[in-house]
């Protein structure tokens, strides 16, 4: 983790690495189909858990990514 990287940024990087490893196993033709199906379900569960974590962040709760107050007051010009 760098000085400018937040804890969440470091977690996201580590999470992406884990997800890539699981997805690689999921595509491995040498792994039996039932195991690959469980790996696929595991990937989906991981993504659901990450989304829940992101939604629980206090800074995420302040916006729904809709128009900002500045947009509503016509203070922002979209080019």
For 13-71, the pLDDT digits (tens) are: 999 999 999 999 999 999 999 999 999 999 999 999 999 988 887 776 555 555 666 55
pLDDT at residue 26 in the model: 92
pLDDT at residue 27 in the model: 92
Q: Decide: helix, strand or coil at residue 63.
A: coil
pLDDT at residue 24 in the model: 94
Using CA atoms, how far residue 69 sits from 31, 43, 58, 74, in Å, is: 52, 37, 19, 9
């Amino acid at each position: 983790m760098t000085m400018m990287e937040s804890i969440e940024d470091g977690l996201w990087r580590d999470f992406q690495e884990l997800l890539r490893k699981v997805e690689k196993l999921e595509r491995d033709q040498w792994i039996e189909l039932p195991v690959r199906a469980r790996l696929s379900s595991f990937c989906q569960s991981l993504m659901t858990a990450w989304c829940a974590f992101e939604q629980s962040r206090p800074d995420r709760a302040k916006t729904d990514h809709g128009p900002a107050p500045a947009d509503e007051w016509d203070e922002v010009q979209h080019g």
